[in-house]
Amino acid sequence: MADLIQGETGTWEVVIGMEVHAQVIANTKLFSNAGATFGAAQNEQVSMVDAAMPGMLPVLNEKCVEQAIRTGLGLNAQINETSVFERKNYFYPDLPQGYQISQFQHPIVGKGVIEIDLPDGATKEIGITRLHLEQDAGKSIHDQHPTKSYVDLNRSGCALMEIVSEPDLRGAEEATAYLSKLRMILRYLGTCDGNMEEGSMRADVNVSVRKPGDAYGTRAEIKNVNSLKAVQQAIHFESQRQVTLIEEGKPVIQETRLWDPDKQETRSMRSKEEAHDYRYFPDPDLLPLKLRSGWVDEIRQTLPELPDQKKHRFMKEHGLSLYDATVLIAEKIRAAYFETVVETGKDAKLTANWVINELLGALNKDGKSLADSPVSAADLGGLISLIKDDTISGKIAKDVFAEMYATGKQAATIVEEKGLRQVTDIAEIEAMIESVLAEHPDNVQAYRAGKDKLFGFFVGQIMKKTGGKANPGMLNTLLKEKLDGK
């Protein structure tokens, strides 16, 4: 599923490595006790430490460390017993310390692996290079005054996990599959909310091109790509730009570029001359971080079932197809909903169809999420039980579902109120067949002379008479018997 570019000189392969910044879910910041929730009023969540007042000392938040370990375990990664916080020095108006506390030579999490799902059902393993903890910077605001910029320090000091991948991705499709899977794992673990629009998950995309089999080419790093769509567009633009450059005999420069969604292009942001020398050194205010023995195992015990495990279990235990299982595990709440419906309705395949096609279809059309579903899992299970025990047909069930969705009523109530119970009485169905056949003697004759297509016509007529309530299986058998003269 690799992206290949046809150039003047042959076929080019696109190589991608990702650096993802994921904001840690924690009540307080990495080194201070100020709040860390999104959406607070400007500068409402800033302590003296975050504002870098002289003499303030950082105090490590245990919860943030736990979340990083949890994430490392979810990425099947090596957890390092000792890691070191270092100062990454640079000037930014929204970075009052003049440095960011990060991890450099000794990150808390080492090598790991993520399995990504490709659209054709195949999977591919992508190497994780490392995960380290670091502080976020504040935010400069330029659009509220004609001549002044403001600084909001709410984000200053919030804990980030930087998750770095190996250059194992081969184009836009794999890159977005990687981000989706990573986001899913973070959400399952409860370590990051994964909201790219709110900036709590941000991706830097490293792009290079090469002829298949050659060594890696020079990469450009694209910053500020904040949606899956933008990641795809930026990769398409940047890889094509590099192929054109190389084929014109010009070099690709290793630099940081920005994605401009309006112009649909990447632009150079920092050239090599201005390349940063961060002068990393161990932060003298913080001791090396040594994990208490046994802690990692304690955290391992509390890991939830992760998306891939759930997917395989759904296929094995519930007999679902890969496609159905993949759709149902996409969100934890969706998977839980499905399993609650199965408990009541007792038919996993039927449930998968109803959840995916009817319920998610209806919610999607309304722009609603599953959390706001007007139909509860138990109630959908109730509807499925009615189909299973032949109280209603699958076709009538769709009308009942629409009513449940609109009113929040239970299936059984609607079936009783509207008299939708399916007719399963043989004598009753036979009587209806007789009356329809009597009304259409010419068609009966034509059918018996070999025009079998008329069978559907008779079914339609009888269903019309019963308001669709005749049991379809019984109707078919009995009608066939009658027409064939048995």
77 lies in the site for ligand ADP, by CB under 6 A: no
472 lies in the site for ligand ADP, by CB under 6 A: no
3-state secondary structure of 105: coil
Give the other-Cβ count within 10 Å of 484's Cβ.
Answer: 9
| Nearer Cβ to ligand ADP (225/420) | 225
Q: Can you say how many angstroms the Cα of residue 201 is from the centroid of all Cα atoms in its chain? A: 12
165 lies in the site for ligand ADP, by CB under 6 A: yes
| Nearer Cβ to ligand ADP (216/323) | 216
Write each residue from 112 to 151 as x if it is in contact with ligand ADP (CB under 6 A), else as -, in one continuous string. ----------------------------------------
Binders of ligand ADP in range 169-208 (CB under 6 A): 206-208
Query: By CB under 6 A, which span of 1-9, 13-21, 413-421, 464-472 interacts with ligand ADP?
Result: 13-21
Which residues, 6+ apart, have CB-to-CB distance to 404 below 8 Å?
374, 375, 379, 380, 383, 410, 411, 414
Least distance (Å) between residue 317 CB and ligand ADP: 36
CB 88 within 8 A of CB 202: no
Q: Which of 3, 12, 13, 17 binds ligand ADP (CB under 6 A)?
A: 17
Query: What residue number has its CB nearest to ligand ADP?
Result: 17
Residue-by-residue DSSP string for 168-229: -B-SHHHHHHHHHHHHHHHHHHTS----TTTTSEEEEEEEEEE-TTSPP---EEEEEE-SHH
Q: For 123, which DSSP code?
A: E
Distance CA 481, CA 468 (A): 20
- Report how many residues bind ligand ADP under the rule CB under 6 A: 15
| Nearer Cβ to ligand ADP (222/479) | 222
CB 107 within 8 A of CB 166: no
| Nearer Cβ to ligand ADP (165/233) | 165
Q: Which of 166, 193, 308, 399 binds ligand ADP (CB under 6 A)?
A: 166
23 lies in the site for ligand ADP, by CB under 6 A: no
Query: By CB under 6 A, which span of 50-58, 91-99, 160-168, 434-442 interacts with ligand ADP?
Result: 160-168
The angle subtended at Cα 468 by Cα 467 and Cα 471, nearest 5°, is: 130
Nearest to 136, CA basis, from 210, 66, 31, 61? 31
The angle subtended at Cα 70 by Cα 66 and Cα 73, nearest 5°, is: 140
Query: By CB under 6 A, which span of 15-23, 67-75, 332-340, 403-411 interacts with ligand ADP?
Result: 15-23
Under the rule (CB under 6 A), what is the footprint of ligand ADP?
15-19, 164-167, 206-208, 216-217, 219
